[in-house]
Copies of this chain bind each other. A is one copy, B any other.
Amino acid sequence: MPEPATGDQVQQAERAFQGFLRTKGLKLTRSRREILLAVMNISTHFQAEELLLAMHHTGKRAAKATIYRTLPLLIEAGIIKRVRFGSEQTYYEHCFGEPPHDHLVCRQCGAILEFESGEVVRLCSEIARRHHFEPETHRFQIVGLCMRCAREISAG
């Protein structure tokens, strides 16, 4: 999500995470809380390494291993999700308490546009029903050219 979460969202996410951890018999440690906060305040898609740096910039620190161990928990708790664009790399974005959206990815400049995906959700249900499948989430990306790149390319 290209916006930092509001203070309110952060608090709710923290409670949600705590609840999630408790049900699994896990603990809300200082590292986990700090990672959660850093994640919620990031305003773009981020990679594990970038999260580490962002934390260092605000004087927090966590071992890389701890980040890699915490990200899956945040995903399972529904606070972040994993997104993969064209490249090899794995990105994350926070999604707690936000309406679902999908992405338009420009293959030329790498720009990422988001769009609300009500129609996509509807289509998911429809297709899943037809295949006797129980849908939970989806991944949807439209890859092509953003307006600017399309113009530049056709201009030569």
Count chain A residues whose beta carbon lies closer than 8 angstroms to a beta carbon of B.
Answer: 34
Q: How many angstroms between the C-alpha atoms of A144 and B132 in the bound complex? A: 11
Question: Does A143 lie within 8 Å of B150, measured CB to CB?
Answer: no
Contacts of A128 in B (CB 8 A): 104, 142, 144
Q: How many angstroms between the C-alpha atoms of A137 and B131 in the bound complex? A: 23
Contacts of A131 in B (CB 8 A): 104, 113, 115
Given A104-B133, A113-B133, A133-B104: A127 touches B147 (CB 8 Å cut-off): no
Residue positions of A touching B, CB distance < 8 A: 84, 88, 90, 104, 106-107, 113, 115, 119-120, 123-124, 126-128, 130-147, 150
Rank and list the top 8 A-B pairs by shortest CB-CB distance, nearest first: A136-B144, A135-B144, A134-B145, A132-B147, A134-B150, A139-B141, A134-B144, A138-B142
